[in-house]
Structure formats: C-alpha cells, structure tokens
Amino acid sequence: MAAHKALLAFLPRAGGEYARTRNYDYGSMQRENVSMLSPWIRLRLLSEWQILNAVLQVHSRSSASKFIDEVCWRTYWKGWLELRPSVWEDYLVELAKDRERCEKNIGYMQMIEARSGIAAMDAWTSELIETGYLHNHARMWYASIWIHTLKLPWTLGAEFFLRHLLDGDVASNTLSWRWVAGLHTLGKSYLAQKSNICKFTAGRLEVNIPLATESALVETGQRITEPGKLPSHDESIPNGRIGLLIHEEDLSAVDWLSDSCELVAVAGLLSPAAYRKYGIEESVIKFRSDCMRSGLTEKAEIFSCPNKFAEWAYIQNLDAVLMAEVPVGICKDVILDLESSLAARGIKIIKRRHWWDTHLYPAAGAGFFNFKKSIPSALEKLMQT
C-alpha cells in the first residue's frame, strides 16, 4: 500500500533531519525533507497514533519532537473545532456573502487562475491546482499575502485551498486561515516577509510586490465562543445484528472498532455529491474514494449516498450500525441524513470516539502550547497499547 510504503520511507528522517529541514520549500520535485503523509493522515488511512508509534520505534521523543508536534497539530485543530462547531457554521455564512460580493472581483479571479502577476503566488497556485499539495510554510505565506497584502477575504482563500488540497480538512484548513488572519488568537496574525520566503525557498521564488508590514483589519461576523462539551458516545451496543460503517473521516475505524462486538457486515459510505456541493475537485474525490477502497476488503461494498447505505443495512437485517464519530464538516451532513434514513427503518447508529481523541480533544480548548502539555501522557498510553 502506497501510504505504508511512504511512512516506512520517511521514518529514518523523522528525527533531527526533519527538525533541521522541515521549513524549507524546495519545490514539488524535492519533498524529501517533509513526510508527504498528510493526504493519508487526513483520512486516517494512516492514523496519528499509528504514525507516532512507528516513529517512536526508531527515534527518541526528544529527537522526533518537531515531527510529533506537527502530527499533533492536526489533533489540536480537530479538537478545537469539535469544541466550537459554530465556527464552521459561521464560516459558511460569511463565505456565502464574500463569494457573492467578490464573484466578479478581477483580483480574486486572477489569483485562483494563477494570473496575478505575482511570481511566487502564481507558482504556488499552479502547484496547488496541479498536485493537490503545498508545503506548510508556503500555505502560510500564501494566506498571509492573500489576506494582508492583497486584502482578499480570508474565507475565499480557505475555500480555494479546501477545494484543491488532497489533505484538505475542514478543521485544519479553516482554523489555519483564521490564525493567519488574526482571528484564531486575537491580536496575533502572521505576516509573510520577503527575506523569509527567499531563505526557505532557497531563492527559488520571488515576491515581486511590496508585502504588508501591518495586519489587515479583518472584519468577520464569526462569534467568539467558549469551548463546549464533547458528546460522550458511551451508548451501549445492543444485542442483535451489528454492522460497521466506515466513512472517509476515519478509515482506521475498520481496525479499532472491529473488536467492539461481533460484526456481521462492513460497508463504506462516501458521498461525491456532498463534496461537489462544496466545489471539491474531482481529483480529490477520486483520491479519497480510492483510499477507502484500499482500506476495505474486496467484498465490502462502498455506497455513494446515505439512502443506499440504509437500504443495504435493512437488507442485511441489521439492528444497529457502529461507526467512528464524524467531526464537524462536510461528512457530518451526510451522516445526519443517514441517521434519518436508518431511523425510518428501525436501525440505530452507535458512535464511538478513539481513545486518542478522547484524551486530547478536551485539551484543545485554548492554544496549542497549552494543548501540548497533554501530548506526553498520550504517547505514554500509546506505547503501552
């Protein structure tokens, strides 16, 4: 499997070498300094705990600390949004308004078509569209120039990334753009600098316009909310015929939920229609569909709409469907439709959260550095399992 081969190839570089070179963007043909695992982590075809367990078999915690932090940033973003789901809802409202307002904005159209005339931005836009990937440092530079220099709505930039990134994730992508804009940590934004771009692209890319030296005043209708409480997902599994549902937010569930009870059937659900509603590129949809197929047995069916899955569950005479919880985002709407379809057929949905998320999500109520205090205990538990 490509994901596991990529992990094995990266493991020797996950320690000091990664820490020294990770910030350099050498271009799409030279990515050995970063893991390139993010598209598979996004789907948990490679889970955070699986990757870190493999890394800690090769490196000490101290030598691999930068990579450990990088992997755990994903868990932090996911947990932060789970504690504040209204941030995604507010984003969608604001996005709709900005899209209507900027529908014919020439600068916006030139940006997303790689015709801005800004050499570095056009290079990154082209790379994003062609490969579905950008180096993390480049994502920060891009968002900063988009927001603070060009003064384009941050929501449209976040949407543009989410449409094209193979690792595009509602939490990581939306909250990262908010952070650059100065909305995540109030009073703190990120300003790209020419010297930084020149250094970390090894002089490869040029920004041929003056860059903002002050943060743009970003107007937003988003509510600043305190972290809420996570649902417990501790409902008991009933007696009877239980099926397992695998969705694209956690393909690892085929492993960690299989021992929860005796399962009589397993199937996947991935809705291309739900992705297309958000303008997600066909190449991204195909990648995720292929990953789901690779993570399931050949006999397991994969359904493209909730009602078809519900019909299958009824034919299988299931009493309940077991699944990993679905985080805030596109897939959540699909599962809400599925719950209605299953309920109409007298079939319950039972949700579970992996212990990794149960342990770390509650620590994501504030900033990452506070969250980071909970990582060592998660790693201790990981090494004991």
Q: What is the pLDDT of residues 82-106, one digit of tens each?
A: 999 999 999 999 999 999 999 889 9
CA distance 306 to 316: 15
Segment 235-252 shows an average pLDDT of 95
Look at residue 225 in the predicted model and tell me its pLDDT: 74
Look at residue 358 in the predicted model and tell me its pLDDT: 97
* CATH code of the domain containing 54: 1.25.40
What is the side-by-side strand order in the sheet with 348-352?
A: 301-303, 263-269, 242-247, 320-324, 348-352
Shared-domain flag, residues 22 and 36: yes
Shared-domain flag, residues 293 and 263: yes
* CATH code of the domain containing 332: 3.40.50.620
Q: What is the pLDDT of residues 326-361, one digit of tens each?
A: 999 999 999 999 999 999 999 999 999 999 999 999
Shared-domain flag, residues 76 and 91: no
Look at residue 185 in the predicted model and tell me its pLDDT: 82
Question: By three-state DSSP, how is residue 119 classified?
Answer: helix
Structural domain total, the chain: 3
Helix 154-164 to helix 119-131 angle, to the nearest 10 degrees?
A: 40
The answer to whether residue 69 is domain-embedded is yes
CA distance 39 to 22: 17
Look at residue 104 in the predicted model and tell me its pLDDT: 83
Look at residue 163 in the predicted model and tell me its pLDDT: 98
The CA-based angle 378-383-385, given to 5 degrees, is 95
Segment 164-170 shows an average pLDDT of 98
The answer to whether residue 227 is domain-embedded is no
Look at residue 226 in the predicted model and tell me its pLDDT: 87
Shared-domain flag, residues 308 and 273: yes
Determine what percent of the chain is predicted with pLDDT higher than 70. 99
Phi, psi of 324 (to 5 degrees): -70, 145
Q: What is the pLDDT of residues 112-161, one digit of tens each?
A: 999 999 999 999 999 999 999 999 999 999 999 999 999 999 999 999 99
Domain termination residue (choose one: 166, 200, 234):
200
Shared-domain flag, residues 104 and 194: yes
Shared-domain flag, residues 342 and 260: yes
Segment 231-250 shows an average pLDDT of 94
Look at residue 224 in the predicted model and tell me its pLDDT: 67
Band of the pLDDT at 187, cuts 50, 70, 90?
confident
Please name the amino acid found at residue 219: E
Shared-domain flag, residues 23 and 122: no
The answer to whether residue 158 is domain-embedded is yes
324 contacts 354 by C-beta, under 8 angstroms: yes
Look at residue 221 in the predicted model and tell me its pLDDT: 67
CB environment 151-172: b (16+ within 10 A), e (fewer): ebbbbbbbbbbbbbbbbbbbbb
322 contacts 241 by C-beta, under 8 angstroms: no
> H/E element holding 266?
strand 263-269
Alpha-carbon Rg of the chain, whole angstroms? 21
Which range of residues forms the domain containing residue 348? 242-352
Residue 41 pLDDT exceeds 80: yes
The answer to whether residue 221 is domain-embedded is no
Write the CB contacts of 78 (distance below 8 Å, at least 6 apart in sequence): 169, 171, 172, 327, 357, 361, 364
Determine what percent of the chain is predicted with pLDDT higher than 90. 92
Question: By three-state DSSP, how is residue 283 classified?
Answer: helix
Burial class (CB in 10 A: 0-12, 13-18, 19+), 322: buried
